[in-house]
Amino acid sequence: MDEVIGLFPIPLLRAPGTLPRVLVNGLVEHFSKQAVQDNNSSGNLSHTRMLKPDDSPLLIEATKLITPKLTDFGALLFGERMGWSLKEMWVNVLDKGGRQAMHNHANSFASGVVYLTPTHPDSQTVFMKSPGGNDFIFKNDHDQMTPGPFNADKWVSPAPEPGDLVLFPSYLMHAVPPNPGERRITLSFNAIPMRLDSWGYAVSFSG
């Protein structure tokens, strides 16, 4: 019997309903007004300043619910359940016509997005292969080919509901296509483990 093995897959954790609706509504009400910093990706995209979890009781509550998911996800990344710290958080407001260019997140190991409002199907988060990887130089790309996990350049995340969470390695490239619908609000964050140990070469991190 032939067997196909997916070597060295990249984990992405999707946790529906991580934040309850009352907390989601509170975050939208409080932080959408503070999203006044422009983003060079689009004139219709703005965000708050970088926030710490203890900047607001709302963020403290959100952090308590997100952190156990980070522990689960960290076990996939590093093979060990360990403490994690949310290093920084920010709220994104994407109005109609706005977009977020392809990017990844520096100075962290895990990143996440909590969706706070409904998302138009055309502006669901897209995850992409890093450019300049180890793929063949010449591609088979035409309307008769079937994209799959071993040949696709991008993957569109499932339609989220308010309160849903996704976690991914911070190096993973991602983007948001132009938003043709209503205002889209998300809470993004970066996280780091408390400590990594490579056979005695240990590094401790602080948020």
Q: Which of 89, 93, 106 is nearest to 38 (CA)?
A: 93
Residue that the structure tokens 């260019």 belong to? 101
Beta-bridged to residue 47, according to DSSP, are 37, 92
- Report how far residue 61's alpha carbon sits from residue 101's, in angstroms, rounded to the nearest whole number: 30
Q: Which of 128, 113, 101, 91 is nearest to 160 (CA)?
A: 113
Q: Please, what is the average pLDDT of the chain?
A: 94
Opening angle at CA 53, ends 34 and 193, nearest 5? 135
pLDDT tens string 121-170: 999 999 998 876 666 677 888 999 999 988 888 999 999 999 999 999 99
Q: 27 vs 105, 164, 206, CA distance in Å?
A: 23, 14, 25
pLDDT tens string 77-133: 999 999 999 999 999 999 999 999 999 999 999 999 999 999 999 999 999 988 766
Second-level CATH architecture of 13-131+146-192: Sandwich (2.60)
Give φ, ψ of 30 to 5 degrees. -80, -45
Domain boundaries, the chain: 13-131+146-192
What pLDDT is attached to residue 173? 95
Q: Residues 155, 10: contact at Cβ < 8 Å?
A: no
